[in-house]
Structure 1
Amino acid sequence: MRKEYIAPFFATLRAANPLPTTELEFTTPFELLTAVLLSAQATDVGVNKATRRLFPVANTPQAILDLGLAKLEDYIKTIGLFRTKAANLMKTCAILVEQHGGRVPRTREALEALPGVGRKTANVVLNVAFGEETLAVDTHIFRVANRTGLAPGKDVLEVEQKLMKRVPKEFMADAHHWLILHGRYVCVARTPRCWECAVIQYCDYQPKTPPPAASS
């Protein structure tokens, strides 16, 4: 993507969605951390269904610990890899209580030290809960960055580093959400919906996908 196209690319996405946010449901930084931890290889819809049951019962680190592993597993058993995620969440809650006064830390190093929390999860929490200018590169952002030519890279870290350099500062706080939503609903994996794309004129992808033939 040509450098002069980047600002209008994001300006167009912003005009269509001025206040983007995560589709995970949460009310506190801990609820967000929990939801993101549970979301690996799972849909936001599936995570929200589980946390709508879990959070009214236990939505703090101590409450999760008091709930116990078996009951936690029961609440999240509809989510893929729920046993591993439950174990990691219990360990994370113990660390939050013992080392952070039950609060979610605000540094990348402390977040990444939590079981089940990698760079992507830390970036989401820093961005969404604390307003940091971070970019959590998931499969959607990785695809959009490469396909459009915005920030091509062979792995998620390379794409993240290029995005941090190429995204104009005025768009940085919300770029994560715009790119995820664009990848989730328009620039989809198998057949990108180019005929619905508002930023098609800035995109390097060729050939553009034609609209599906009208049914007779």
Structure 2
Amino acid sequence: MKDTDIDYAMGVLGEAVSQWQSPAVTIVSQREGSPFKVLISCILSLRTRDKTTGAASERLFALADTPSAMAELPLAVLEKAIYPVGFYRNKAAQIKEICRILAEEYQERVPDEIDELLKLKGVGRKTANLVVTLGFGKPGICVDTHVHRICNRWGYLSTTSPDHTEAVLRAKLPVRYWPVINDWLVTFGQNLCLPTSPKCSTCPLFSVCDRIGVKKSR
């Protein structure tokens, strides 16, 4: 994909993904409008399917919807509420500690800056960027495996890791696409541009995609 193709690609992508359901964390942000709930649901979503993330988020928020209330939940209750998300025991302990810190050091408020969010144990750049963009509507580029994989598959960039991808996208991707690229590429990657055997024969971006690394497709 040429750099000049990105406007065309994003325009087509925006229309294509409208037929599919948005990622679970995006749904939480649209329904709740709470940076805190975006943060917690994003932690739950790591290495977990969207359907499981959405259900676990609803169960947990029904028990507690503020940092102080969630910090007071017994660990066993937290674990039961979020099961069967991936690494649920570790995530329960992590969430409890993050909520304690937010309640005691941040006056119940989730930080709106990436560097400040990264101070919370277990919060990486993906989560921090997602909180900034979905929770606060501020510029940020959330890069997960789908964004990293598809941007490289397109040939729009050539990077070695999600963090590297974020840095390059910050330098070349028009800012107007920053808030949506994760949402759209996650949806696109889950439904059409699959990790293995992508559905290239029905892809609306076939004409501009370099198909880097694609050995088998449908």
TM over 0.5: yes
Alignment of 1:140-179 (within 5 A): 140-179=146-185
Normalized against structure 2, the TM-score is what?
0.89
- The CA deviation at 1:124 is 0.7
- The CA deviation at 1:36 is 0.5
2:31 matches 1:15: no
Which whole-Å CA distance do the structure 2 matches of 1:22 and 1:103 have between them? 24
Unaligned stretches of 5+ in structure 2? none
Which whole-Å CA distance do the structure 1 matches of 2:89 and 2:58 have between them? 19
Unaligned stretches of 5+ in structure 1? 212-216
Q: Count residues with an aligned counterpart.
A: 211
User: How big is the alpha-carbon RMSD for the aligned residues of Structure 1 and Structure 2?
Assistant: 2.0
2:61 matches 1:55: yes
Which whole-Å CA distance do the structure 1 matches of 2:190 and 2:60 have between them? 26
- The CA deviation at 1:16 is 3.4
- The CA deviation at 1:14 is 2.2
Are the counterparts in 2 of residues 194 and 208 from structure 1 also a CA contact under 8 Å? no
Aligned pair partner of 2:99 in 66, 82, 93: 93
2:6 aligns with 6
2:115 matches 1:109: yes
Normalized against structure 1, the TM-score is what?
0.90
- The CA deviation at 1:51 is 1.6
Which has more helix, going by share of residues?
A: 2
Change (3 A) 1:119 1:61: same
Q: Which amino acid aligns with 1:160?
A: E
Report the identity percentage.
33
2:123 matches 1:122: no
Q: Which amino acid aligns with 1:4?
A: T
Which whole-Å CA distance do the structure 2 matches of 1:48 and 1:23 have between them? 5
Aligned pair partner of 2:196 in 190, 196, 201: 190
Q: Which amino acid aligns with 1:5?
A: D
Change (3 A) 1:148 1:98: same
Instruction: Report the secondary structure of 1:184's partner residue.
Output: helix
Deviations 1:35-63 (A, max 9, x none): 10111111121111112211111111111
